[in-house]
Structure 1
């Protein structure tokens, strides 16, 4: 189909591949795989095996996008970034003295922020060779860009569930009010962090809607458990479920 997009969401522990219809964000086909490798070469070999095994993908797509998932990412104002460097920002936030080649960034000019993150070489090297025209960003940069293509005036709380962490984002009156990543093991962990954010932001007596995004069946189950807990406790004066949906669909809004 000429109106489809190949979307990929990858971390150190999993890779998710979906063919998405751009006109209505319908997923035509999707595939999910665990990654348990220990070396860069092992990751490349496993990814080659995975993509060779998916025989139903088209030979070519109009658009290719890839979202890299890691909890080691941060948002900084564009003005701060322009006076520093991605390596300096990353070391300040995480204390890790990584090789500069393992640090990347995405500018979000519409928000005047920059997303700085770590990304191992095997990710870039495999996908640039496999799909030379692929556009890749940190998954949170893609999510933010997609969210700001939607209605952003009313208060919107978004929880995007990745393998080992969630991003909690609050948008209100067309502005990014809050954004941070939190590690989790259970839905109760996500709820705890969400309640903490709501209290810290002084939103307990406010109204808002909640959207949750997932990558696969496992994270979808966690997302649904989280919403059930939120619906039970009602941490906001009035909160309604906006959507629980695949995060892979959002990539169609980022090209």
Structure 2
């Protein structure tokens, strides 16, 4: 979705992709003339704060980060939270957005709910953005486009599953949270998001989801991406229970410009630039 009421500036050949969660703000700046990402950056947020304090901390960081005050031709804001669900187009009616969320999260009458269309896949991602942050960003940036981070994540994984008839599971890791996406030849079998505190919590959620899909841990493929390495506890414990575990490193033309670690860590930001 795009905000309005901004003036058209001279071409700067620069794009900002800004990803916001309640635990981290990350961003990249793209030189659009040379199709090159100039900078990746991450800033952790103290989750022990109250919600209004977290929102103020995020807005303060954005206001006081010099590089974010440059002029950009295009600004894309990605909201990364678990306040979302994917709805097939055949079941979708934009007049009833709250009804799609009410079975998985608590929805209040004054919540602002919107959705992203997922191109080529006949479904929509219905979600609640961070309204207070969104309003503050309008004051800071004026015109920008915003989407849900999962819209980028799921579309890209569906793209790379083309012609692969065996079910695949992708796990995108963040600090104390992860998203699980199961696909089969460009069909979305499952999307869910979990918060966890221990590696035992993590493997419980993961094995429960794969069991519901009747996937055999000896045969199905699981690929990690996001904030993860082979040395991490959650990778090691997953490897004990699932045979075919790996880091996702299937590079195409855009991805060859990055190290494997940069690509894994910034998967959503990179594909948010496309």
- TM-score range for the pair, normalised by the shorter chain length: 0.7 to 0.9
| 1:86 corresponds to 2:94 | no
| 1:185 matched residue in structure 2 | 197
The answer to whether the 8 Å contact 2:88/2:124 transfers is yes
Q: Are the aligned partners of 1:168 and 1:181 in contact in 2 as well (CA < 8 Å)?
A: yes
SS of the residue aligned with 1:93? coil
Check whether the contact 2:28–2:37 (CA below 8 A) recurs between aligned residues: no
Matched, 1:105 2:130: no
Superposition pairs of residues 19-58 of structure 1, within 5 angstroms: 19-20=29-30, 26=37, 28-34=39-45, 38=50, 40=52, 45-57=56-68
Match of 1:138 in 2: 148
Query: Which residue of the other structure, out of 155, 170, 182, is the alignment partner of 1:158?
Result: 170
Task: Tell me if structure 2 keeps the 8 A contact 1:7–1:251.
Answer: yes
Alignment-derived partner of residue 249 in structure 1: 270
Give the total of aligned pairs.
244
Q: Shift of residue 27 of structure 1?
A: 6.0
Distance in 2, Cα, partners of 1:38 & 1:147: 34
Once the two structures are superposed, the pairs formed by residues 218-229 of structure 1 within 5 Å of their partners are 220=228, 224-229=232-237
Whole-angstrom distance in 1 between the partners of 2:51 and 2:151: 27
Unaligned runs of 5+ in 1: 215-219
What secondary structure is seen at the aligned counterpart in 1 of 2:126?
strand
Q: TM-score, normalised by structure 1?
A: 0.78
C-alpha distance in 2, partners of 1:21/1:196?
43
Equivalent-residue separation in structure 1 for 2:125 and 2:146 (angstroms): 13
1:185-215 Cα deviation digits (max 9, x unpaired): 123322222222222222214342403213x
Q: Is the 8 A contact 1:20 1:27 kept in 2?
A: yes
- C-alpha RMSD of matched pairs (Å): 3.2
Structure 2 vs 1, CA of residues 10 and 169 (structure 1 numbering), >3 Å: closer, same or farther?
A: same
Q: Are the counterparts in 2 of residues 16 and 32 from structure 1 also a CA contact under 8 Å? A: yes
Task: Give me the whole-angstrom Cα distance separating, in 1, the residues matched to 2:26 and 2:272.
Answer: 13
2:78 alignment counterpart:
67
Post-superposition offset of 1:100: 4.5
The CA deviation at 1:134 is 1.9
Q: 2:135 aligns with which of 107, 110, 125?
A: 125
